A and B are shown apart, each in its own frame.
Chain A
Amino acid sequence: MFNIISLISGLLFGFGLALSGMVSPGKVVGFLDLTGNWDPSLAFVMGGGVLVTVITFRFILKRSVPYFGSEFKLPTKTDLDKRLVTGAVIFGLGWGLGGLCPGPALSSLAYGNPKIFVFVGAMVAGIVIAKLLTGGFKKTA
């Protein structure tokens, strides 16, 4: 059941990213282009998503076990460390340059554009390099 829920969640997520316009780097850059021909659409994506999660997450997280599966696996860190800030800066830079973040990049593989395959390949390489530099491969999940 747990795996089926994950597949359904992924299906919805991919569809939502396409409908919302997030899969278009032009739309993303248009949103980030505050001083140019600004397109505020993507604020509605984040707004719509958080509107739902801020309500539903409260109820779900009151439970000691999830509805499907045996345990919650949630982030445990609460402090604002240098690593969080550094990562966010690096990601922001890449997001502004390419107009793609991980979800839309993976979803757009559906449309068969070779440029997206190159981006996703580079993104995977970026994860591997970051793991090598930070000792991420030694950690046991």
Chain B
Amino acid sequence: MENFTPYSSLIGGIILGVAATLLLMAGRIAGISGILSSLIPPQTGDALWRVLFIAGLIIGAAVYPLVGGDMAFLNVNPYQLSDNAHYVLLVIAGLLVGGGTYVGAGCTSGHGICGLGRLSLRSLTAVLIFMAVAVVTVFIMRIVVGG
């Protein structure tokens, strides 16, 4: 539990809720997978807000260390794989995350932050399933890679 960061995680989560509130005030759900997948390919009249939101994501994340945010926790390679193995894993993971969120119509933000906020049974179901599967996946990975 030495990495436990309840305060920054809670405040970060509240900011996510505020951001999702703001976008709903503009009539849209802050589901990142949906915002991205509906840009492939871009639809006339429906692309600009999506591009601006994604640009905002990147700029917002870039601002955090610039205003003194601590990035020491950033660990991209949690299973401590070799670079080559990690690249292979990331390609597989990326394909699954992209495909799975498109088919399942949402990710941690759309089903999690927004769907649960709307008290959607579909979103609750999706969240419980992807959390459970991810927990089992990590459990198996820990056994496979050891550590």
A interface list, Cβ under 8 A from B: 2-30, 32-42, 44-54, 56-57, 60-61, 65-75, 77-80, 83-103, 105-111, 113, 115-116, 118-131, 134, 136-137, 141
- The answer to whether residues A13 and B97 also contact, given A21-B12, A60-B25 and a CB cut-off of 8 A, is no
Residue in contact with B94 in the complex, picked from A80, A113, A119, CB distance below 8 Å: A119
Sample of 16 A–B contacts (CB below 8 Å):
A10-B57, A12-B18, A17-B61, A28-B78, A40-B1, A45-B16, A49-B113, A56-B17, A84-B125, A85-B104, A90-B104, A93-B137, A106-B36, A115-B77, A118-B91, A120-B94
Contact B98 A130 (CB under 8 A): yes
Chain A residue at smallest Cβ distance from B132: A92
Question: Which of B21, B93, B104 has the largest number of chain A CB atoms within 10 A?
Answer: B93
Give complex CA distance A64, B66 in Å. Answer: 40
Could you tell me the dominant secondary structure of chain B's interface residues? helix
Chain A residues positioned under 8 Å from B103 (CB to CB): 83, 86-87, 90, 130, 134
Contact A46 B112 (CB under 8 A): yes
Residue interface mask B84-114, A partner, CB < 8 A = 1: 0011011111111111111111111101111
Let me know if B3 is at the binding interface, CB within 8 A: yes
Contact B58 A122 (CB under 8 A): no
Chain A residue at smallest Cβ distance from B96: A94
Give complex CA distance A21, B91 in Å. Answer: 22
Residue in contact with B141 in the complex, picked from A34, A53, A97, A107, CB distance below 8 Å: A97
Total interface residues in chain B, CB < 8 Å: 115
Could you tell me the dominant secondary structure of chain A's interface residues? helix
A40 CB to closest chain B CB (Å) equals 7
B83 CB to closest chain A CB (Å) equals 8
- The answer to whether residues A118 and B18 also contact, given A14-B58, A37-B1, A141-B43 and a CB cut-off of 8 A, is no
Chain B residue at smallest Cβ distance from A37: B1
Contact A98 B32 (CB under 8 A): no
Contact B27 A66 (CB under 8 A): yes
Chain A residues positioned under 8 Å from B9 (CB to CB): 20-21, 41-42, 44-45, 48
Contact B21 A18 (CB under 8 A): no
